[in-house]
Structure 1
Amino acid sequence: MCGLAGGIWRDDRLLAPSIGAAALAALAHRGPDAEGEHREAGVFLGHRRLSIIDLDPRSTQPMHLGPLSIVFNGEIYNYRALRAELERGGCVFRTESDTEVLLQAFARDGLDCLQTLEGMFSFAIWDRSARRLTLARDRYGEKPMVVFEDGEKLLFASEIPAIERLAGDGDLVIDRAALPLLFRFSYLPAPFTPFERMKQIKPGCWLQLTVDDWTIREGSYYQLTTGGAPLRKAEPSFDAAKTQLRRLLTESVEQRLAASDVPIATFLSGGLDSSIIASIAAGIAGDRMTAYSIGFPNDPAFDESPYARLLAARYPRIDHRVIDVTEERLADFTDRTLGLLGEPYADASLIPTAFLCSHVGEKVILGGDGADELFAGYGVYSAMQVSARIPGWIKRVLRRLPTHGNPASIGNSKLRAAAFFRMHMRDTAGEEYLSWRSYASPEQLQSLGFSNADACALPGDLVDLDLHTLRDMLVTDIRFNLPADMLKKVDLASMQHGLEVRLPFLDSRLVAFALGLPDKFLINGGVRKHILRESFRSDLPPEILTRGKKGFLLPIRKWMRDGRIRDELLDLAARQTTLDSRAIERFATEHRELRADHSQLLWACYVFLKWTGRRNGNRSDRGSISSEIAG
C-alpha cells in the first residue's frame, strides 16, 4: 500500500527536484516508510512506500525492468501463484515483492495481465522504448487514480494534492458543472473530480498515453452490467450454496492474510460482516490477532461495542481493543480529519472510521466492506422489491398522498419506514434508486446557486437505469456507490494514518458467486443477507445474527441542530459567495425546527466550504474559489 504521483510533459522538460519532492510530500501519509523517484526528459515517476511485502529496500519503487518503470499502489494477493507461472516461462526475479511480479506480467502480456490480477491496485508503467504511459485501476475501485490532462501534460496521482504540486500555477480550475453531484450524493462519482480536465479512472479500467503523437486510449478489462441474466448455469441448493460461500470467503481471507510480511489486525464493529471476517481470521491466524472496535460510552444508541465483545469472547486468539470516544472528542477530531482531505468528500462516517484507524498499531487490517452490495444488506433493496410488486395504478394513487417532511423524526419504526417508502416512491425503478441514493433535490441544488442543467445532470451510466431485478440493483451499487462512497471512505480514512485495509468480500470469484445467487437466498422473509447469516450461524453469537443493520454514524443530525459545527457552517456561509448563504440558512432553520432532515446536505455544505477555505488559504496566489467558479 502506497502513494504514487507522476507526469508526462510534451515539451520534454526535466521536472525540478523541488516540485517532485513537494508532490511526494503531499503523499507522505500514504507511505511513511520509503520514498523514490525516477526522472528523465519529460517524465517523472514518484512513490511513497508503506512496506508490507518484501521489506527489503530492494523493493523500493520506482522499480525497473528493461525499458519499463513502475510505481504501484496496492497489493496483488495472488502474486505467488503468478510468480510461479512466470518462472516456469523463464522469468527471473530479483525481489520477493508483488510489484516485480506485476511488472514482469506486464512485460510479458501487456494489458492482458490485468485479467490475471486478484487484488486492489492502481499503477503507472512507463515504457521508455515505446514512449507510452499505462495507468490502470483495480476491478472494484479500492485504490484511487486521478488524472489531469490538458494537451501539454498528463499528471496522475493517488490524491489530488500531489497533482496540485505538479501542475502549473492556475492550471486547476474548479469544475462548477460537477459540484452538484457532491451535494446530491455526498461524493463525486468517477470519472468526476472537483476540477476541470481532471478525472478519476473508473474501476476496472485503464488509460494509455502514447507521447509521440499524444494519443490517449482508454478501455475496461472488467465490467458488470445490468439487465442481464444472473451469472449461473443452474440454481444450486441452499445448502450447497452455503458450503461454497464459506469456502470462497475463507479462501479470500486466507489469501489476504498470507500476502504480508507484517502482522495483520481486523476491524470488529459488532455487525454481521466484520464479525464474520474476524471469526474466519481468528480461526486461520497462527498467532493472536488484534481486533479493533469503537465504543460510545456516553451514547448507547451509537455504541456497538457490547456486540463486538460477545464475538471476541468466543475466540481466544482475538486480542480485543475497544477505543472509546465521546462526542466532544470526535468533534475535535473532525477538524483534523477534514483538514487532511485533498478533495471534498461528505460521507460523515469518514470521521469515526478515521478515528478508529488512527488507533490501529499494525500496518494492515481486514474489514467487512462490500458484503452489503454482494448480499443485499441495505434496506433500499427490500423497499424496491416491495415497490416493484405494486401495480402502477396503485402507485399513482399513493403518490398523490402527501409526504412526511422529516421521516427520520418519527419515533415508531414501522411508521418511519412507511414514510421513507412513500418519500422515495417513483414511476420507475431507476428513479427510485436515485431517490434513495440522493440527499438533495435538483430544486435544492438550484437554490444553492447552480444552474438547472447542472443541478439535474447525472453521470452517463446513471441515466435511464435498467433495473428490473435485485441483481441489477446490486450491480449498480457495486459500480456506483461502492467505489465512490464506501471504498473512497476506507481509503481516505485509513491512508491518512498509514494503514492498509484489505476487504475479503471483494474477491472476484466471490463477487461472481454472489451475483449468481437466487433472490430468495439473499432476502428471505424480509431478512436481508439471508445466506450470509445462515452460512456462518454456528460461528457467531445469536445476538449478532438477529440484530438489524446499523451504520457507522456521526451524530450530524444533532450537530446541525445546535452546537459548534452548525455555528461554524453559518459563519462560513456568510463569508463566501460560492454557495447561496440564504439557502444554507433556510435549510439550517428547517432542520433545527425538525421540519425536514437536511443534515446530510448541510454537512456537504460544511465540508465543501471548509475545503474551499483551506484551498484559498494555501493557494491565495491563484485567486479565490469564487473567482475560479465565476470564470
Structure 2
Amino acid sequence: MCGIAGIVADRPVSPGAVEAMTGRLVHRGPDDQGIWRSDDGCAVLGHRRLSILDTSAAGHQPMERDGLVTVFNGEIYNFVEVRAELVGLGEVFHTNSDTEVLLAAYDRWGPECFARFNGMFALAILDRRRKVLVCARDRFGEKPFLFAARPGLFAFASEYKALLAMAEIGRDFDPVPLLRFAHRPATGLDDERATLFPAILQLLPGERLELDLSTLDTRIDRYWTLARDPALGALGMGEAAERFRDLLTDSIRLRLRSDVAVGSCLSGGLDSGSIIMLARRLLGDDAPYHVFTGRFPGTRADEWDYARHTSQAAGAIVHQVEPSAAGLLADLPDFLWANELPVGSASQYAQYCVFRLAKEQGVTVLLDGQGADEILGGYEQYFARYLAGLPGPERGAEEAAIRARYPGALDSPRQALSKALPPRLRHWLAQISGKGSDLLFGLSPDLAEQVAKANAPPVVPQGWSPLAAELMRDSFSTHLPVLLRYGDRNSMAHSREVRLPFCDHRIAEFALSLDPKLLMGEAQTKRLLREAVKGILPEQVRTRWNKQGFLPPQDIWFAQGLIDEAERVIEDPSFARAGYWNVSWWRCAIRRFRAGETHLGWVLWRPLMLESWRRHFLERITAQPGVEALP
C-alpha cells in the first residue's frame, strides 16, 4: 500500500516536481521513498512505500526489470499463485514482493496480465521496449488513479493534492459536480472520468491507459467487464449459499496474506461479523485477532450489543473508540485535508477515528465489510427494484412481507406523488411553505433543476433484472466507488491498509448471476449471505433485520455543537457570494432545527461540509505555490 506519482513530458522534467508530489503522499507511505528518472530526463516516477509484503529493502520502488520500471500502489492478493505459474514457465524471482510478480507477469503477458490479478491496485509501468507508459486501476476502483493530460505533459498521482502540487495543474473547480454530490452523495465526484477539478481526470474501475512516449497520445480501454453466467440463475439456495461461502472464505484467505499485523473493523452488522468469524476459522483458535470498533454510548447509533456477540464468539481482542461532535470540530481541518473532497455524512469521520485507533495499537492491515451491501442487496431501497422484476402474482405477497418487516423501505403513495412533481414546482412549494428537507430547496431554482436532471435514475439496460442492474450500477459506478474513496483516504491518512473481501470480482460475478430471489427474496436483505453464514455467525447478528450502518448520531451531534458551526458557515458572507445557495431557505432550516426538527441535521450537514471543504482544502491548496514540472 503506497502512494505513486509521475510525470512524462516532451522535454526534461524537473525531478523536484515529482519530489513535491510524493512529499504530499508521505502519509500513504512513511516507510520508504524513491525517485526514478529516465536517461533523457523526460520521464520521472516517484513512490512512497508502506511496507506490507516483503518489508525488506528488496521491495523498494520504483522497481526495474529488463527495460521495465514500475510504481505500484496496492496489493495483488493472488501473487503467490501467479508467481508459481510464472516459475513453472521458467521465471526466476529475487524477492518475496508482489511488485516483482507484477513486473514478471507484464513481461510475460503484457497488459493482459491485469485480468489475471485478484487485488486492489493503481499502477504505472514504463515499458522502454515498446516506448509506452501503461497504467491500470483495479476492477472495483479501490485504489485511486488520477491524471492530467495537456500538450507536452502527462502526470499522474494517487491523490489530488499531489497533482495540485504542480504549477501546470489548475486549481479551479466545477460547482455542478459538487452540488450533484451534495444532493445525492453517490453521484458527481466518482462516477465519471471528469472530476471536480476540470484539469484532473481519473481512470474508472477496471480500466487501463496506454501513453505513447513519443507523441504523448493516450488510449483508454477496459481490461475487465463483469461477466454474468446464465447457468447460475438456476441454482437453488442451498447450493448457492455453499458456493458463496467458499468464495468468501477464499477471498478472506487471500486478504490475510501479510508480513505485518492484520486485524478487522467491527460494527454490529452482518458484513464485518461474517468476515471476522470466517477469518477466525482460517487463523485457528489460538492466533490473536484484533478488532476495532466505534461506539456511541447512550444513543440508538451504538451497536455494541451486537458487536459484543461477534467479538466474543470470535475470541477477538477488542479496541474501542468513541467519536464525538467535539472531536469532529477539532479534527475538521486535518480530516478534510485527508479526504480531499467533501464527505456525505459523519460516518466518514467515525471511520477516520477507527483507523487512527488501529495506528495507535500498531495494527497495519484491517479487513472491512465494505461492498457487501451493493453487491448482495443490503439496502432497503433495493426492495423497490427487486419487486419491479417480479411477475404480478408474486409481487403482492412479497410487497406485503417487505412492508411488514421494513416499514420505510417502499415509498408511500404520498412520497411517490411528491417525487413525481416537477423540480421547479417542488422548489416553489418548499419556499412558500417553509417546509421540506431536500437539498435542492436550498439551491437557486435553475441550478436545482439542473442538478435534479443530472441525478435522474438511468434506464435499466437490456438483459438485466431491475435489481441486478441497480446493484451493478451502485457497485461499479455510483455508490460503492464513493465509499471506496472514503476508505482509501481515511485509512491512508493514518498509514493503514484496508482490505475488502466482498470486493472480489469472483463474488460479484457469482452473486449478480443468481436469481434475484436468492439475494432479496422472503423480505430479506443480503439473503444469500445470511444463509451462507448460518451456524457460523451468532444468530442475534445473522437475523438482525434492521440495517443501521456505521452511522454516528448525527442529529445529536448537531445539537452538541455542529448546528452552531453550520450557522456560522451560512451567515458568513462567502456563503452568499458562492452564488448557488438559497440563503433564506438555509436560515429557515437553522431555525426549524432549533425549534425541534432535528432530522434537518442530515441536510444541514451538506453545506457545512461543502463550505468547510472550501476553507480547509481548497484555500489551503491554493495558498501553496506549485512547483514547475517543465522549467
Query: Normalization by structure 2: what TM-score?
Result: 0.85
Q: 1:617 to 1:482 in 2, by over 3 A?
A: closer
Asked whether the 8 Å contact 1:35–1:61 carries over to 2, the reply is yes
Shift of 1:566: 2.5
**Aligned CA distance change for structure 1 residues 529 and 88 (closer, same or farther; 3 Å):** same
> 2:481 maps to what in 1?
484
Which residue does 1:619 correspond to in 2?
622
Encode CA deviations 1:119-142: one digit per residue, 9 max, x unaligned: 011101112343321211000111
Map 1:452-471 → 2, pairs under 5 A: 452-453=449-450, 456-458=453-455, 463-466=458-461, 468-471=465-468
The 1:443/1:311 distance shift into structure 2, 3 A limit, reads closer
CA distances 1:147-205 after superposition (whole Å, capped 9, x unpaired): 1122231221111000011342x623212343332222226123232211312210001
Where does residue 77 of structure 1 map in the other structure?
77
Between 567-576 and 583-592, the greater mean CA deviation after superposition: 583-592
Give the aligned partner of residue 223 of structure 1: 225
Partner of 1:311: 310
- 441-450 or 136-145, larger mean C-alpha shift: 441-450
1:152 is aligned to 152
- Aligned partner of 2:415 in structure 1 is 423
Partner of 2:519 in structure 1?
522
How far apart are residue 491 of structure 1 and its match?
A: 1.0
Q: Partner of 2:376 in structure 1? A: 375
- Taking the aligned partners of 1:588 and 1:413, their CA distance within structure 2 comes to 34
2:35 corresponds to which letter in structure 1? Answer: E
In the TM superposition, what is the alpha-carbon distance from 1:415 to its structure 2 partner? 6.2
Quote the offset at 1:234 in angstroms: 5.3
Match of 1:399 in 2: none
Mean alpha-carbon deviation: is it higher for 450-459 or for 126-135? 450-459
1:38: Cα distance to partner? 1.1
The answer for the alignment partner of 1:609 in structure 2 is 611
CA shift in 2, pair 1:329/1:173, >3 Å: closer
Following TM superposition, by how much is the alpha carbon of 1:426 offset from its aligned partner in structure 2, in angstroms? 9.2
Given that residues 294 and 322 in structure 1 are in contact (C-alpha distance below 8 angstroms), is that contact kept between their aligned partners in structure 2? yes
The secondary structure found in structure 2 opposite 1:166 is coil
Name the amino acid aligned to 2:320: V
8 Å contact from structure 2 (residues 176, 451) kept in 1: yes
1:243 partnered with 2:255: no
Change (3 A) 1:613 1:424: farther
Query: Are residues 156 and 355 of structure 1, via their aligned partners in 2, closer, same or farther at CA, if it must alter by over 3 Å?
Result: same
Deviation at 1:594, TM superposition (A): 6.2
Matched, 1:474 2:471: yes
Distance 1:477 1:425 in 2: 25
The 1-side partners of 2:437 and 2:123 are apart by 35
Change (3 A) 1:566 1:151: farther
| TM-aligned CA deviation for residue 86 of structure 1 | 1.4
Corresponding residue number in structure 2 for 1:384:
385
- 8 A contact 1:15–1:43 mirrored in 2: no
Give the equivalent residue in structure 1 for 2:549. Answer: 551
How many residue pairs get aligned? The number is: 584
Letter in 2 for 1:117: F
For 1:328 and 1:136, how far apart are their aligned partners in 2?
A: 40
Q: Secondary structure at the match of 1:356?
A: helix
What is the correspondence of 1:106-505 to structure 2 with a 5 Å cutoff?
A: 106-168=106-168, 171-186=170-185, 188-190=189-191, 191-224=193-226, 231-233=230-232, 235-257=234-256, 259-286=257-284, 287-299=287-299, 301-316=300-315, 318-360=316-358, 361-386=362-387, 416-417=408-409, 422-423=414-415, 443-444=440-441, 446-447=443-444, 450=447, 452-453=449-450, 456-458=453-455, 463-466=458-461, 468-505=465-502
Judge conservation of contact 2:68–2:127 (CA < 8 Å) in 1: yes
Question: Distance in 2 between the 1:464 and 1:273 partners?
Answer: 30
Cα distance 1:440–1:384, how it changes in 2: closer, same or farther (>3 A)? farther
Map 1:514-593 → 2, pairs under 5 A: 514-547=511-544, 548-560=546-558, 562-573=559-570, 574-576=572-574, 577-578=577-578, 579-580=580-581, 581-593=583-595
SS of match in other structure, 2:363:
coil
Of 334-343 and 197-206, deviating more is: 334-343
Residue 21 and residue 234 in structure 1: after superposition, are their counterparts in 2 closer, same or farther (change >3 A)? closer
| Cα shift at 1:309 | 1.4
Shift of 1:442: 8.8
| AA partner of residue 363 (structure 1) | T
TM-superposed deviation, 1:80: 1.0
CA distance in 1 between counterparts of 2:235 and 2:458 reads: 34
1:450 Cα offset (Å): 3.7
Q: Structure 1 CA distance, aligned partners of 2:523 and 2:177? A: 38
The residue identity in structure 1 corresponding to 2:275 is I
What amino acid is the match of 2:301? F
Residues 549 and 51 of structure 1: CA distance in aligned 2, closer, same or farther (over 3 Å): same
Stretch deviating more after TM superposition (466-475 or 269-278): 466-475
Hey, what does 2:508 align to over in structure 1?
Answer: 511
Name which structure has the greater RCO, CA cutoff 8 Å, separation 6+.
Answer: 2
Could you report, residue by residue, the CA deviation over 1:552-577 in whole angstroms, capped at 9, with x for unpaired residues?
A: 113333444x4532222332332312
Amino acid at match of 1:616: E
User: Which amino acid in the other structure matches residue 464 of structure 1?
Assistant: V
Are 1:448 and 1:584, in contact at CA under 8 Å, matched by a contact in 2?
no
Give the aligned residue type for 2:206.
G
**Cα pair distance change 1:326/1:177, threshold 3 Å:** closer
Contact preservation (8 Å) 1:231, 1:513? no
- Percent identical pairs in the alignment equals 31
1:423 maps to amino acid: Q
Letter in 1 for 2:174: D
Separation in 2 of the partners of 1:120 and 1:586? 45
Q: AA paired with 1:541?
A: P
Normalising by structure 1, report the TM-score. Answer: 0.85
Does the CA-based 8 Å contact 2:442-2:585 persist in structure 1? Answer: no
Q: Deviation of residue 373 (structure 1)?
A: 1.6
Distance 2:602 2:151 in 1: 38
